[in-house]
């Protein structure tokens, strides 16, 4: 079940790069872009992360924080962040709590096989912790600019 737009997001624990644990509520007072990607160091996920990285300053100008999330281990997330020079934190959601709360685990087909995986999705949460926008089944090209426009509209 998806989280409804216009409602507060659940206050879940986050395991972040830098070996830190925070809650979603720790970001109150700033808008938050929470983007989910299938797997660190794959082509589409790398490009999406680079696009967010390259626009970090523009998001900061709107008082918006960026967090990326996948089911990868903390070690994999640390490596991905360092390799790509991401200035924002990545979430290691190894138990899928965050993924399931945002309903991004979907049945996917690849090479004729079915498996459960993350559907590339992005959520924009306002400074009060309320879900304002969602993008599902995201295509990477042009996506970050669209999210930035929505973040600018919040201010």
Query: Which residue, 88, 65, 106, is CA-closest to 18?
Result: 88
Is position 45 annotated as part of the catalytic site? yes
Q: How many CB atoms lie within 10 A of CB 52?
A: 25
Reported confidence tier of residue 1, pLDDT bands at 50, 70, 90 = low
Reported confidence tier of residue 115, pLDDT bands at 50, 70, 90 = confident
pTM above 0.75, yes or no: yes
- Burial bucket for residue 46 (CB in 10 Å: 0-12, 13-18, 19+): middle
Q: Is the pLDDT of residue 107 over 90?
A: no
pLDDT (tens digit, 9 = 90+) per residue, 31-79?
A: 999 999 999 999 999 999 999 999 999 999 999 999 999 999 999 999 9
Catalytic residue among 45, 90, 91, 98: 45
């Amino acid at each position: 079940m998806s989280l409804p737009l216009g409602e507060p997001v659940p206050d879940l624990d986050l395991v972040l790069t830098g070996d830190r644990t925070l809650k979603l509520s720790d970001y109150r007072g700033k808008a938050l872009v929470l983007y989910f990607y299938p797997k660190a160091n794959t082509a589409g996920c790398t490009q999406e992360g680079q696009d967010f990285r390259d626009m970090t300053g523009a998001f900061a100008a709107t008082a918006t924080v960026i967090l990326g999330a996948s089911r990868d281990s903390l070690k994999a997330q640390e490596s991905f962040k360092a390799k790509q020079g991401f200035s924002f934190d990545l979430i290691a959601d190894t138990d899928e709590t965050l993924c399931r709360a945002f309903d991004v685990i979907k049945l996917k087909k690849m090479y004729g096989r079915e498996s459960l995986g993350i559907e590339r999705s992005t959520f924009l949460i306002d400074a009060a912790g309320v879900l304002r926008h969602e993008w599902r089944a995201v295509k990477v090209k042009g996506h970050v600019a669209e999210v930035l426009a929505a973040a600018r509209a919040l201010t």
